[in-house]
Amino acid sequence: MKILFVYPGYIVREVPLNIMYVSSAVKAEGHDTHLFHFSPFKDMSVFKNVNAQITETFIKTMEEYQPDIVGFTVIKQDYRITKNLSSIVKDIFKTTVVWGGIEPILESEMCIKETMVDYICTGEAELAFPEFLRNLQNGQEFLHDDRLRLEIAKESFQPEDSDCETGSKNEKESVVPFPLVKGIWGKDELNRIIRTGRPRLVDDINAIPFPDREILDPEYYRAELTGANILTARGCPFPCTFCQNLELMRIFKGKGKFVRYRSFDSVFKEMEYLIENFNAPSFYFSDEMFTLSKKRVLEFCKLYKERGINKPFMVQTRLDCMDEELAEALADAGCSLVNMAIESGNEYLRNKILKKKFTEKQIIDAYTICHEKGMMTSSYNMIGIPEETIDNIWETININRKLMPDRIMCTIFMPMPGTDLWEQCKSDELEEYMSDATNYYTQVVYNHPNLSARTLIGFQGFFDWYVLLPRWTFPIIHVLRHMYAYSIPPRIPKNPFLKKIRDIIVEFVYQMKNYLPQKTLQVKAR
């Protein structure tokens, strides 16, 4: 069978490791795969309608590849365009549509009820999706197997119509084969929803084949900054209120360990494979929390040198999971860059609202230690947090001025489904804005009681200007910030012409950032 994977990744030019893992598992069973990726379109001219470009190119891809199944990775920010593309698949090409990713996991009922969706995956797909394809290809009529039906009846077959319960007289009306797999929900020919619960988390992630790197253009993992993305572990145990990870822990409680580690031998073999086959110049360990286990990191750094990898690498971690011993070991092994999130310079917002649970001293110590050991740092910051004020934004700017990270990123708070803050901020207006949102750098979706959308847009656009430039330039930056904020619509514009104008202005501001006195993040072997 031929499977076309569709991945948004519109906000950043990220490598879709989730798709690459599933693609590898699917190929191992003899299927063919292809990837349609949103992110290249953001680099095209701002004078063109991005959604129109995506749609046009997608139709062309469908015509040329002619897949048997189209699998979408679904995220809230690109929900509307995902629905549009899924409708094209169903209406024009009459092809099976499968949704996977974070949205079908967190909002399963909403996703399965979409008319253009045939199936959804409600958990990790490396095991469930290949089994689904086997059953689908073989045409196994599991719905007629009373024994199997009874085994999972409590959570699987729950028709929408109350008179069609399992075991009713209408049950035999379902004559279409249904590939019953734990974690794959679908519909029969009467449009009754068949729920199969959730799959267990993959216990042994070492058993999963290496990600399918051939599905991507090599430029994605030969990039100067990010290099080849590698996961050494899955899962993060911290309960941050803005992160969907907390809800995932709740959903998969009792379905296996949430935090799982790969063996070092497996990780090093993957790196050696990438060096030999793709000439990877560097590596980016994209674990959510690379230094979660200090003992493990120290051992990894020792083995990294002993294996003679001799390539620079980058990591991301929490700053309260960094100390001098770890920093020294990472730097000695070849770590060039450490990504850490400050989020907010205000202790109340950081600890009470976001539940980050670390002090200003811990922030300063972590960055200071990394710089002393010769590693570059990135800071992640967020503005527009509930209860935030302009004074709080200045606190975040000032702590960055004190630390002077090598790379500074600032996003506008965007509540994500499944998070505690989503429930706090949820409204009809938020749902509407989120369906059109694609970028938490330049779009405002939450109607903040203290901060206008224009205020947030202005501070985000000039956040790094305030951090990197001397204070005597602030009056000039204030003028530019207000001109920028009031020249673009405060919300996501519906009018295509206004969208073009907005994009032109945003593009100009971000091009000007190239002239800021910021260090070039060029990783080098140590």
Number of domains forming the structure of the chain: 2
Host domain of residue 22: 2-194
Q: Are residues 185 and 248 in the same domain?
A: no
Query: Is 201 a domain residue?
Result: no
Q: Are residues 156 and 226 in the same domain?
A: no
Reported as a pLDDT band with limits 50, 70 and 90, residue 168 is: very low
Reported as a pLDDT band with limits 50, 70 and 90, residue 297 is: very high
pLDDT higher than threshold 70 for residue 215: yes
Query: Is 213 a domain residue?
Result: no
- The answer to whether 456 and 448 are in contact (CB under 8 A) is yes
Reported as a pLDDT band with limits 50, 70 and 90, residue 55 is: confident
Q: Are residues 403 and 507 in the same domain?
A: yes
Helix, strand, or coil (residue 441): coil
Between 278 and 496, the higher pLDDT residue:
278
Task: Give 195-244 as a DSSP string.
Answer: ----PPP-S-GGGSPPP-GGGS-GGGTS-TTT-EEE-SEE------TT-T
Tell me which residue has tokens 């995902």: 82
Q: Are residues 366 and 455 in the same domain?
A: yes
Query: Is 520 a domain residue?
Result: no
Which CATH number is 374's domain given? 3.20.20.70
Provide CB contacts within 8 A for 321, sequence distance 6+. Answer: 289, 291, 292, 294
Between 170 and 489, the higher pLDDT residue:
489
- Across residues 398-417, what is the average pLDDT? 92
pLDDT higher than threshold 50 for residue 70: yes
Q: What does the pLDDT read at residue 219? A: 62
Q: Are residues 76 and 149 in the same domain?
A: yes
Query: Is 131 a domain residue?
Result: yes
Q: Are residues 63 and 131 in the same domain?
A: yes
∠ CA 110-12-370, rounded to 5° = 120
Reported as a pLDDT band with limits 50, 70 and 90, residue 162 is: very low
Backbone region of residue 387 per phi and psi (left: phi > 0; alpha: psi in -120 to 50; beta: other values): left
Query: Is 202 a domain residue?
Result: no
Q: What does the pLDDT read at residue 436? A: 66
C-alpha 361 chain-centroid distance? 30
pLDDT tens, position by position, 480-514 = 999 888 887 777 777 777 777 877 888 788 788 77
Q: What does the pLDDT read at residue 140? A: 56
Between 299 and 490, the higher pLDDT residue:
299
Query: Is 204 a domain residue?
Result: no
Q: Are residues 162 and 267 in the same domain?
A: no
> In this predicted structure, which of 17-31, 186-200, 245-259, 368-382 has the lowest mean pLDDT?
186-200
Q: What does the pLDDT read at residue 173? A: 37
pLDDT higher than threshold 90 for residue 475: yes
Q: What does the pLDDT read at residue 342? A: 95
Strand blocks (E) in 256-383:
260-261, 283-285, 313-316, 335-343, 376-383
Q: Are residues 176 and 116 in the same domain?
A: yes
- Give the domain-ending residue among 178, 194, 210: 194
Q: Are residues 274 and 391 in the same domain?
A: yes
| Burial of residue 440, with CB atoms counted within 10 A of its CB: 0-12 exposed, 13-18 middle, 19 or more buried | buried
Which CATH number is 145's domain given? 3.40.50.280
Using only the alpha carbons of the chain, give its radius of gyration: 24
Backbone region of residue 183 per phi and psi (left: phi > 0; alpha: psi in -120 to 50; beta: other values): left
